[in-house]
């Protein structure tokens, strides 16, 4: 076997995952500097990258090692993009406030729930694939990638409604954390329904920039 110059894999699907991760790190940097609008934008960009990396992965030829690496790297990046990133934004909303503990509680809750959700999904998905080759039709609990929609939506509502944005946003984080680990069926979206999701995401992108 030819020796690699760099460890890891660098096919188009994982490169898109890497771009989503870099967007998340930049979003964290922006949140630390109180540039919340663009931090939320980066969170949504991470979600957009995640939406298409799986589609690309299914269209390219990959060996078993590349497939296993893709599963692991996807979960690791999801933790940062959709657990840590929205958590840091919430914490920074409260930074310097006498109620800053609320930001830490909400942040810790969504990161912990994301860790549990991703680890559980990986274990159960590996077990499922050992028994069947059928496509997955539903998820147990809310997939962590949904924070890329819920958090921006809460941000927009918090800017419009006569409520403190920080409390509204962190309340949404706590609800999202609960839904990550609450065992209920979430249908997996296929086909034309994806176009509705993309249209909604584009509207949400515009809303974040406008409010």
Residue 86: the pLDDT is 97
> What stretches of the chain adopt beta strand conformation (E)?
138-140, 185-187
Buried b (16+ CB within 10 A) or exposed e, 38-54: bbbbbbbbbbbbbbebe
Residue 34: the pLDDT is 94
Distance CA(154)–CA(138), nearest Å, equals 25
Distance CA(146)–CA(117), nearest Å, equals 12
Burial of 1 (0-12, 13-18, 19+ CB in 10 A): exposed
Residue 28: the pLDDT is 97
Which pLDDT tens digits describe the chain residue by residue (211 residues)?
567 778 888 888 889 999 999 999 999 999 999 999 999 999 999 999 988 877 787 778 888 888 888 888 999 999 999 999 999 999 999 887 778 899 999 999 999 999 999 999 888 877 777 777 777 778 889 999 999 999 999 999 989 988 888 899 999 999 999 999 999 998 887 767 777 888 888 899 899 988 8
Residues in the chain: 211
Of the candidates 174, 176, 160, which has an alpha carbon nearest to the alpha carbon of residue 211? 160
Distance CA(15)–CA(22), nearest Å, equals 10
Q: Which residue has the tokens 């830490």?
A: 104
Q: How far is CA 88 from the centre of its chain?
A: 13
Residue 39: the pLDDT is 97
Overall pTM > 0.85: yes
Residue 1: the pLDDT is 53
């Amino acid at each position: 076997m030819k020796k690699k110059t760099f460890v890891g894999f660098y096919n188009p699907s994982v490169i898109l995952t890497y771009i989503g991760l870099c967007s998340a790190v930049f979003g964290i940097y922006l949140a630390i500097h109180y540039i919340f609008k663009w931090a939320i934008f980066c969170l949504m960009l991470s979600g957009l990258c995640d939406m298409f990396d799986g589609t690309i992965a299914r269209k390219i030829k990959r060996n078993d090692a590349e497939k296993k690496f893709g599963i692991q790297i996807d979960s690791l990046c999801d933790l940062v993009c959709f657990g840590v990133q929205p958590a840091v934004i919430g914490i920074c909303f409260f930074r310097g406030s006498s109620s800053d503990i609320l930001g830490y509680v909400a942040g810790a809750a969504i990161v912990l729930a994301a860790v549990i959700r991703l680890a559980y999904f990986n274990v159960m998905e590996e077990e499922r694939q050992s028994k069947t080759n059928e496509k997955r039709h539903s998820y147990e609990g809310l997939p962590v990638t949904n924070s890329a929609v819920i958090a921006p939506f809460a941000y927009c509502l918090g800017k419009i409604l006569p409520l403190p944005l920080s409390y509204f946003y962190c309340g949404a984080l706590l609800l999202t954390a609960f839904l990550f680990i609450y065992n209920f069926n979430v249908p997996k979206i296929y086909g034309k329904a994806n176009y509705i999701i993309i249209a909604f995401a584009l509207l949400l992108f515009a809303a974040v920039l406008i409010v």
